[in-house]
Amino acid sequence: MTHHILILCTHNSARSLLAEGMLNHLARQLCKDVQAHSAGSAPSGRPNPFAMEALGQAGIDTTACRSKSWDEFTTPQAPPLSIVITVCDSAAAETCPVFFGGAGQPVKVHWGYPDPSNAEGTDAAKRRAFELTRQAMGYRMLQLLALPLDTLSRDELQQALLSIARS
């Protein structure tokens, strides 16, 4: 069974796209049946170029990356979501819509990251902020992929995701 994971951030232009790219890349490398998606409550409509560059530098194909609304995941045609992860504080504070899932509502967790889009200074400093965010997300995504997703109960999954959030 494919585990569909939705990663939310308000504008779906940087952090959520970094997380989606990292999770899909690592899942393929580890032969895990996980498919990441990302969306935003108020999508910007375009990926942040520094985010796309950070993914590209890590060998991740960004041709399919796009900024999209979380509304795409609220229809009966949307993939059944197992997990919803918010990666920015403003998205975590928003009231999420109802997401259709295979077995009820998906497990929700907040994994906050500072917004690398707010990095100041030279382009090199901004690139470094995006790269550090990409690496931090990759670390948590590896922890997520190490979980026995097919055998954990909903409560066990929630606790495991919260434990990763504290790491």
Q: Which of 96, 147, 160, 161 is catalytic?
A: 96
Q: Provide the sign of the torsion angle of the four alpha carbons 149, 151, 155, 159, taken in this order.
A: negative
Q: Which of 9, 34, 129, 144 is catalytic?
A: 9
Q: Is 31 designated active site? A: no
Q: Which of 14, 18, 85, 88 is catalytic?
A: 88
Contacts of 105 (CB under 8 A, 6+ apart): 98, 99
Identity of residue 105? Q
Q: Is 88 designated active site? A: yes
Closest CA to 15 of 165, 136, 162: 136
Query: 10 Å Cβ neighbour count for 68?
Result: 17
Q: Is 65 designated active site? A: no
Alpha carbons 8 and 17: distance in angstroms, whole number: 9
Catalytic residues: 9, 88, 96
